[in-house]
C-alpha cells in the first residue's frame, strides 16, 4: 500500500513569511496527526484530526499555526507569520483511528528552515 | 503536563552486545507504548509496541517490557548489528482521545563492528 505522502520535502523562508505544508494519509485512515520535530528531539504533537474534525489541538500555537482537513482526507498545515524557532521537520502521520489498530504511519516530513 | 523521559541519550555498544533503553511516563491513563526507529533523514518507523495489559513482548532480537505500577518501560535489543545504529524513540499514548503519542527525546544507538 502507498505510504503517507507529504510535500514539499524542503522549504526555506524568511521570518514573518507564511508557509503551507500538505499531507495525504494512507487510504482508509481516519485519524491524521501533525507533529513538529525539532533537531535532536522527539516528535511533538501539534494537532490530531478524526475524519475532518479536530480531536486535539491543545499544543498548536493558534496565534500563528492553523490546520485543516477538508473532506476527511488530505490536510494542510499553515504557519503565518513564521518565526526562527519554527525551524523543524513537520511530520504527518495517519492511523486507522481504531483503538484495536494503534500503529501510526509517518510521512517523510517537510524540513522547514526559517532565516 | 504529561511527559516521557528516556535514558540514555546516547548508547555505544560493540556488535553482538545487548542494548537497553529505558523510559518513564507520567500519565497513568497511558495504555499504549510504541518504540520507533529513525535513521538519519528518514521517517520514524515502528519496531515494536506493547499495550498496558501485557507485561512483555518479543519479536526476534527485540523485546519490550512494561511495568505499569512503576510507569516505566524498556526496549531490549540482543545481538546488536551495525544496521541497528539509529535514533530510537519511546512513546506513550496521551491526549483527549487517548490515541495521540507523546515521545521521549530519543536515544542515539551506535553499534560498532
Please give chain B's pLDDT, 113 residues, in tens: 789 999 999 999 999 999 999 999 999 989 999 999 999 989 999 999 999 888 999 999 999 999 999 999 999 999 999 999 999 999 999 876 778 899 999 999 999 99
Helix (H, G, I), strand (E, B) or coil at B84: helix
Q: How far apart are CA B71 and CA A78, in angstroms?
A: 36
3-class SS string, chain A: CCCCEEECCEEEECCCCCEEEEEECCCCCCEEEEEEECCCCCCEEEEEEECCEEEECCCCCCCCEEEECHHHCCEEEEECCCCHHHCEEEEEEEECCCCCCCCCEECCCEEEEEC
Are the beta carbons of B34 and A102 separated by less than 8 Å?
yes
CB pairs under 8 A between A and B: 66
pLDDT band of residue A98 (cuts 50, 70, 90) is low
Are the beta carbons of B100 and A56 separated by less than 8 Å?
yes
**Which residues of chain B have a CB within 8 Å of the CB of A48?**
95, 97, 99-100
Are the beta carbons of B44 and A43 separated by less than 8 Å?
yes
Report pLDDT digits (tens) over B53-65: 889 999 999 999 9
Q: How far apart are CA A109 and CA A4, in angstroms?
A: 9
- In this predicted structure, the answer to whether residue A1 has a pLDDT above a threshold of 60 is no
**Which residues of chain B have a CB within 8 Å of the CB of A55?**
95-97, 99-100
pLDDT band of residue A35 (cuts 50, 70, 90) is very high
Beta bridge partners of B50: B33
**Which residues of chain B have a CB within 8 Å of the CB of A107?**
43
For residue B31, give the chain A residue with the closest CA: A99
Distance set, CA B104 to CA B2, B40, B73 (Å): 11, 17, 12
Tell me, yes or no, if A104 comes closer than 8 A to chain B by beta carbon. Answer: yes
Are the beta carbons of B97 and A48 separated by less than 8 Å?
yes
Give the dihedral sign, CA A97/A100/A101/A104.
Answer: positive
pLDDT of residue B53: 87
Amino acid at each position: 500500500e502507498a505510504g503517507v505522502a507529504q510535500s514539499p520535502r524542503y522549504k526555506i523562508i524568511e521570518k514573518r513569511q507564511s508557509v503551507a505544508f500538505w499531507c495525504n494519509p494512507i487510504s482508509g485512515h481516519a485519524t491524521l496527526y501533525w507533529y513538529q520535530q525539532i533537531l535532536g528531539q522527539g516528535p511533538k504533537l501539534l494537532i490530531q484530526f478524526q475524519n475532518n474534525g479536530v480531536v486535539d489541538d491543545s499544543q498548536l500555537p493558534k496565534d500563528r499555526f492553523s490546520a485543516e482537513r477538508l473532506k476527511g482526507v488530505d490536510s494542510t498545515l499553515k504557519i503565518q507569520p513564521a518565526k526562527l524557532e519554527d525551524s523543524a521537520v513537520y511530520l504527518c502521520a495517519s492511523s486507522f483511528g481504531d483503538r484495536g489498530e494503534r500503529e501510526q504511519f509517518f510521512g517523510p516530513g517537510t524540513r522547514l528552515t526559517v532565516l | 503536563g504529561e511527559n516521557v523521559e528516556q535514558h540514555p541519550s546516547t548508547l555505544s555498544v560493540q556488535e553482538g552486545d545487548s542494548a537497553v533503553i529505558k523510559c518513564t511516563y507520567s500519565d497513568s491513563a497511558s495504555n499504549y507504548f510504541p518504540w520507533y526507529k529513525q535513521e538519519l533523514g528518514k521517517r520514524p518507523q515502528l519496531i515494536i509496541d506493547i499495550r498496558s495489559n501485557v507485561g512483555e513482548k518479543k519479536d526476534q532480537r527485540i523485546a519490550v517490557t512494561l511495568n505499569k505500577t512503576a510507569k516505566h518501560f524498556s526496549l531490549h535489543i540482543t545481538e546488536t548489528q551495525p544496521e541497528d545504529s539509529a535514533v530510537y524513540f519511546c512513546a506513550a499514548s496521551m491526549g483527549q482521545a487517548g490515541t495521540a503519542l507523546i515521545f521521549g527525546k530519543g536515544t542515539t544507538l551506535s553499534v560498532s563492528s
